[in-house]
Amino acid sequence: MNLRVILTLYRLMWWLLTPVILLYLYLRSRREPAYIKHLTERFGFHRKRQQSHIWIHAVSLGEVRSAAPLIAELLQGDLPLVTTHFTPAGRSEIQRLFPDAVAAGRLLPCYVPFDTDAAYRRFFRAFAPAYGLVMEVEFWPGMIMSCRKHGVPLFLCNGQYPSKSLARDQGRLFSRAKIVSGFAGVMVKSQLQAERFAQLGVEKIAITGEMRFEQPIPMAHLTAARALRQSAFGDRPIVTLASVVEGEDKGFLGVISEVQTYCRAHNTAPPLFVYVPRAPDRFEAVAEMIKAGGFIFERRSTMLDAQLSLRPQATDAPLDIILGDSLGEMYFYLELCDLAVVGGGFCPKGSHNICEPICLKKPVIIGPNDSTIEFPAREAIAAGLCEKLDFSGLAHRLTHSPAAPPTEKMKTDFLTKYSGSTAKTLAAITSFLSS
């Protein structure tokens, strides 16, 4: 079928499904009220600004943190910025990271328009984007088509096309793989990703590395983690289970139970596990699963105050698990640990990123499904900073065969080799625009 016909059908589908999407937002708002707020932004309605803006699309929390170093640099320039997000978490993270720029009107976070030309036309009229940057893998057909139609240069930034997604999309009649050539240029994480986009017809490609290695690290969180560890846990080993997704809980709780059984049998102290679910709407469900498993646990929300210090009423019982029921404190949870286990890859969804623990120079374990983070996971595995194990292998690693930690030189060499992504990205944007 002709691509133009397919794209027309895609636009029609969006109009037909808009009521369904609105219903979804309403249902989500019953748990997270922010989903239904600022609804007009999702239709592209904004007051017209006097200045042209630089537009950055970062769909949610992870993409915002990835974009943070670039946003900080772009704020030093002449043009104001507008960022678009699908989730309230992404929008609020911009306000948390850049409160002064938001207050001064130099940076405006808002919701991304629905993927229709009418919504984008209104958005473009309001902000007259000098150019747009799409973070990671969020390339939407309507967004790309509208940018081409209205003359807005749109670039993919910190981009990748995971192997599983690419194989799936290439087998479909219509998919993202058919329209990525509509980007004005792409900036990708590795040579492998550059080759993939070239095969899909993209002409302007720059290899810029991984921007997450440069995202700001909240030093107050690191200081609080070190103080808590020294005062409450001493030399007890700590394992942080980071970004655990639905479908992994049974496996991780089984590993914790197996490790405890082994330690009791060998009269050794079991590690403390810091259990951090990926999504806040799972905090209660995970707490119930931990309780049902008979574990002694505390929630971060009841154990620690706003400054991440122990509350006076916090239990002094030897804990099995601390449930990380908070947002924006991942660096605190990771700094607590001796070993980070990153979730997502122990089920078919695919692993979440490992840049945060690597930046803190923590050894990392991921699950078997790493297609979502081919870079930097495979490079980190080759460098000895990361291992790929299933639940059985993880339990064995924690009981029978602790791995030798990577040396300081190994960690430093890796970070040095893959740093500088923000500067490379800015140079690539200048090159793309000038040509």
Residues 392 and 332 in one domain: yes
What is the Cα Rg of the chain in Å? 23
Considering the domain architecture, whether residues 149 and 298 belong to the same structural domain is answered as: no
Question: Which structural domain range is residue 325 located in?
Answer: 219-417
The pairing of beta strand 154-159 with beta strand 131-135: parallel
CATH of the domain at 257: 3.40.50.2000
* Amino acid identity at 181: S
Mark whether 169 and 225 lie in a shared domain: no
Q: Which residues pair with 323 in a beta bridge?
A: 275, 299
Q: Is the C-alpha dihedral spanning 316, 322, 325, 329 positive or negative? A: positive
237 lies in some domain: yes
Tokens for 195, please give them: 């080759």
Q: What is the arithmetic mean of pLDDT over 320-327?
A: 96
- In this prediction, residue 6 has a pLDDT band, given cuts at 50, 70 and 90, of confident
H or E element in which residue 277 lies? strand 272-277
Instruction: Check whether 1 has a pLDDT greater than 70.
Output: no
Our CA angle for 161, 163, 164, nearest 5°, is: 110
Question: Would you place residue 198 in the very low, low, confident or very high pLDDT band (cuts 50, 70, 90)?
Answer: very high
pLDDT in tens, 16-72: 888 999 998 889 888 888 888 999 999 999 999 999 999 999 998 889 989 999 999
- The whole-number pLDDT of residue 171 equals 74
Q: Check which CATH number belongs to the domain holding 428 and give it.
A: 3.40.50.11720
pLDDT at 315: 64
On whether the CB atoms of residues 58 and 90 are closer than 8 A, the answer is yes
| Same-domain pairing of 251 and 397 | yes
CA 373 to CA 242: how far, in whole Å?
15
- Shared-domain flag, residues 161 and 247: no
Is residue 22 located within the same domain as residue 154? yes
- How far is Cα 417 from Cα 415, in angstroms, rounded to an integer? 5
| Residue 371, in any domain of the structure | yes
377: tokens are: 């996971």
> Does residue 86 lie within any of the structural domains?
yes
- Min mean pLDDT across 82-86, 170-174, 243-247, 289-293 is at 170-174
Pair (277, 403) in one structural domain: yes
Considering the domain boundaries, does residue 53 fall inside one? yes
Q: How confident is the model at residue 150 (pLDDT cuts 50, 70, 90)?
A: very high
**With 70 as the cut, is the pLDDT of residue 314 above it?**
no
150 and 296 fall within a common domain? no
Q: 293 and 370 share a domain?
A: yes
Same-domain check for residues 226 and 305: yes
- pLDDT grade for 10, boundaries at 50, 70 and 90: confident
Lowest mean pLDDT among 173-187, 200-214, 236-250: 173-187
Cα–chain center distance at 422 = 17
Q: What's the rounded Cα separation, in Å, for the pair 187 and 431?
A: 11
For the chain, the domain total comes to: 2
Counted residue by residue, the chain has a size of 435
One domain for residues 154 and 96: yes
Closest Cα to residue 329, out of 218, 231, 245? 218
Q: What are the CA-CA distances from residue 66 to residues 153, 245, 282, 337, 390 (Å)?
A: 21, 20, 24, 23, 27
This prediction has a pTM of: 0.82
Would you say residue 214 lies in a domain?
Answer: no
Q: Average of pLDDT values for 304-316?
A: 85
**pLDDT score recorded for residue 327:** 86
Same domain, 380 and 394: yes
Question: Mean per-residue pLDDT for 137-148?
Answer: 89
Assign 343 a pLDDT band (cuts: 50, 70, 90).
very high
Range from 163-172, 290-299, 303-312 carrying the lowest mean pLDDT: 163-172
